[in-house]
Amino acid sequence: MKAIKVGLLGLGTVGTGVVRIVEKHQEDLLSQVGSPIQIEKIAVKNLKKERSISVDSSVLTEDPWEVIRHPEIDVIVEVMGGINETKTYLLEALALGKHIITANKDLMALYGSEILAKALEHQCDVFYEASVAGGIPIIRTLIEGFSSDRITKIMGIVNGTTNYILSKMSRESASYEDVLKEAQQLGYAESDPTSDVEGLDAARKMAILSTLGFRTNVELKDVSVRGISSVSKEDITYAKQLGYEMKLLGIAECHDDGLSISVQPTMVKASHPIAAVGGVYNAVYVHGEAVGETMFYGAGAGELPTATSVVADLIAVIKNMKLGVTGLKAIVPYKEKKLRADERIFYKNFLLLQVDDKAGVLAQITQVFAEYEVSLDSVIQTPNAQQPGAEIMIVTHLANKASMDKVVKHFESMSVIRRIKSIYRVEG
């Protein structure tokens, strides 16, 4: 029985998990695909590095081209990261007729359309389930599970690092700086956490999910991004008082008048299922016209959860090879992209204002909201023992982004408003 031979680019955390699963589950894999699966060659950065698994030295190479151009390798699994150089490797592999499985969200967010077009040209499969939300099979769900429905909203916690930080801040009333430092010590956050905490990692994932869910070519530049570095312990305390949890949410919506995609700290009603997702876990909420609300929850990273998604893609590729239908499932965006104008982007808002504590201030503030036709859901004024003046918490009804921008600009010019301390989107 001829083995399906696989080339692996990278033997870090996820690559190690792939090797473990393929070796440990060989009998199960054989029963599913009808052939043994053999990892023929693995490209690594350092041949002498100590590893947590035993791999025959003849399998390892420091030259990725040795894997790409190996005549007997049928499938390339890319888990080494990187963008431009990695793109060159994968495009060459596709030109040679090799199928691709990747966990590289950065690459797919920036060059996914080009890679999928090359795959279609050479009738190759490109699967990338592990690029978003680790072990949650959300990409396959969007492509296949919702194939007969029309998705109108995708909302998710797609970055475990920021979810860990915000969950810990909420649970222990800890400061952002203290929790970030702890997350770095535990290995949940990188020494340079910018990509995670400023929302860039989540934005790349939302670009991928939006492209698949809405069948249009969403680029990273189409995503409005705001990170969590400005979220204070005080913000989270006030959110909890009002019955909300703070989450970094990716939110993508598509209607007849266009689509909008954002990543931003969001106050989520405590009764909403996504508000209960804590720690490093991920969750993706999808709303379809026919099915209504659905939510997918699970481990968003880690060796085995992510490797499980990679191997699931590997099984899918091999089944397609056996059936002779490779290259037919690539989702190439076919709908014209139309982004919503700010006047058509509606959501509720939370504002925290530091104001002069004197008569008439609240009336002036509510008059500004009325001027720009923004109605208010709740207004709470409290004295602040630590600072002069008073604080006003405001939650609006649904308001369009353009009107809210005008409100904020007007507030910045008012002498009675000492500081706009916080502004957040409200969901649920």
Helices and strands counted in the chain (H then E): 14, 17
Which tokens sit at 352?
Answer: 């925290």
Q: List all residues 6 or more positions away from 148 whose beta carbon is below 8 Å from its beta carbon.
A: 290
Q: Token pair of 233, please?
A: 């312990």
CA 34/CA 145 separation, integer angstroms: 25
For residue 421, give the H/E element and its range: strand 417-427
What is the Cα–Cα distance from 282 to 136, expressed in whole angstroms?
8
Instruction: Say which amino acid occupies 210.
Output: S
> How far apart are alpha carbons 132 and 140 in whole angstroms?
11
Which residues lie across from 99 on neighbouring strands?
75
3-state secondary structure of 137: coil
Of the listed 41, 118, 168, 205, which one is catalytic? 205
Q: Is 205 a catalytic residue?
A: yes
Amino acid letter, 268:
V
Max alpha carbon distance in the chain (Å)?
A: 86
Active site residue ranges: 205
